[in-house]
Structure 1
Amino acid sequence: MTAQLLDGNSGTSERKWRRRSLWSLVLLVPLSLAVEAYDSVKALLGDNDLFPRRVAWGQSVRFGGSDWKLTDLRGAFGMSNLPPDAVPVLADFSVKIGDPDLQNRWLGCKVMLIDKDGRRWSPTSVASLKTTDNVQSCTSAIFSGTKSGDTVNLRETFLVPKEATKSIRPAVGVASERPHFLLFQLERD
């Protein structure tokens, strides 16, 4: 008789453990998927400029430990050997250095042009223009040895389709601020 009672209790106990195991799977499977996806989402957000911070014309804004200001955006005409319907565009920035650790703060510095349709252009070396000694690119400024309080003049050259020149806006992204980036408005906006 006691053997029958033990067998009956063990069957009930075994069913309870099965139910508990199934319920734990309902919780653990989504949790493990979330943990696995976390690194992918973190990499996606950390490597891309996704969320714009709009900057009004003439305004200076703190970004990547420094104060960024768009000083000029203009076409550079009169150049030869360019593709048809392409226009070289110069974007000039004045950056007052706050945190001089640019190699960490500005890592992955990317200046780009974005049009109203979301198309993006990166700097080009096809349309190389001679610049004065005190003008640098974003990448060269990282290794320039600037100190806190210095002002750096940056210039990037782009080659964009002529039809896009009416709606392009300069943008800046750095690794320490991603997924956010600066999107500068023009004087006419």
Structure 2
Amino acid sequence: MSAVSTEPAADPQAEKKWRRHSLVALAILLPLALAETSYDSLCEWLHGEDLIARGVDFGQSVPFGGSDWKLADLRGGKADRLPDHAFAVIATFTVTIGDPDLQKQWLGCKLMLTDAAGRRWLPDVIAGVSLPAGVMNCTSAIFSGAKKGDTITIGDTFIVPEDAVKTIRPAVGLGSERPWYLRFRRPPK
């Protein structure tokens, strides 16, 4: 005795049509699913990086993170304990406090130097080189208890290669303003 199927034969055209529709749906849904799962990561990355520069002329004061920032000085030179072709640079800013909640406004405060090639340098400790009297770094300023209307001086030291010295520009990034950051023009010579 043989088994006989009582189901009707599958329509080959209907099966091809179903497969085509499935492939089209996959081509649409797969990128949408990837976009949905990566959206939060992209937003977090954008808010954690200094990506878009706002140019500021030397001597100009600009509002940023609830306060007014102005490049006060940019100076550098050879330090005793640095390797050949490296220079110590000190960048200082005067900041007039607007919103005194610096722990909120300045969270993730980052002073940096950039050059024409797009390279960045973060602050570094240099033996024998210290900040001028009365100059605080970002962390000290955040917890200084500064009040609205106070003017404070913020700065830091950097080690920069000799080939970048002529094109470096000081920059400031704050967590409350990211992905934007300020990039200041150099003082006139």
Report the TM-score when normalising by structure 2: 0.83
Q: Give me the whole-angstrom Cα distance separating, in 2, the residues matched to 1:73 and 1:59.
A: 14
Q: What amino acid sits opposite 2:45 in the alignment? A: L
* Aligned sequence identity (%): 52
| Match in the other structure for 1:154 | 154
Alignment of 1:82-97 (within 5 A): 82-97=82-97
Q: Does 1:70 align with 2:57?
A: no
Structure 1 119/100 Cα, relative in aligned 2: closer, same or farther at 3 Å?
Answer: same
Decide whether the 8 Å contact of 1:56 with 1:185 is kept in 2. Answer: yes
Decide whether the 8 Å contact of 2:85 with 2:162 is kept in 1. Answer: yes
Structure 1 162/154 Cα, relative in aligned 2: closer, same or farther at 3 Å?
Answer: same
Secondary structure of 2:139's counterpart equals: helix
Structure 1 38/54 Cα, relative in aligned 2: closer, same or farther at 3 Å?
Answer: same
| Match in the other structure for 1:47 | 48
Gaps of 5+ in 1: 1-6
Structure 1 167/130 Cα, relative in aligned 2: closer, same or farther at 3 Å?
Answer: closer
Decide whether the 8 Å contact of 1:76 with 1:90 is kept in 2. Answer: no
Q: Does 1:129 align with 2:130?
A: yes
- 1:31 CA displacement: 2.2
Q: What amino acid sits opposite 1:68 in the alignment? A: W
Alignment of 1:95-114 (within 5 A): 95-114=95-114
| Match in the other structure for 2:170 | 170
| Match in the other structure for 2:4 | none
Structure 1 39/115 Cα, relative in aligned 2: closer, same or farther at 3 Å?
Answer: same
- 1:130 CA displacement: 5.2
Which of structure 1's runs of 4+ aligned residues deviate more than 2 A? 21-31
- 1:44 CA displacement: 1.8
Q: What amino acid sits opposite 1:125 in the alignment? A: V
| Match in the other structure for 2:120 | 120
The Cα offsets for residues 15-66 of structure 1, whole Å up to 9 and x where unpaired, read as 8xx68x8365554333221110101211221111110000011100001111
Decide whether the 8 Å contact of 2:170 with 2:184 is kept in 1. Answer: yes
Secondary structure of 2:92's counterpart equals: strand
Secondary structure of 2:172's counterpart equals: strand
What is the alpha-carbon root mean square deviation over aligned residues?
2.4
Structure (1 or 2) with the greater helix fraction = 1
| Match in the other structure for 1:144 | 144
Q: Give me the whole-angstrom Cα distance separating, in 2, the residues matched to 1:160 and 1:150.
A: 32
Q: Does 1:181 align with 2:181?
A: yes
Report the TM-score when normalising by structure 1: 0.83
Q: Give me the whole-angstrom Cα distance separating, in 2, the residues matched to 1:131 and 1:157.
A: 10
Q: Give me the whole-angstrom Cα distance separating, in 1, the residues matched to 2:153 and 2:131.
A: 15
* Deviation larger for 92-101 or 35-44: 35-44
Q: Number of aligned pairs? A: 176
| Match in the other structure for 2:3 | none
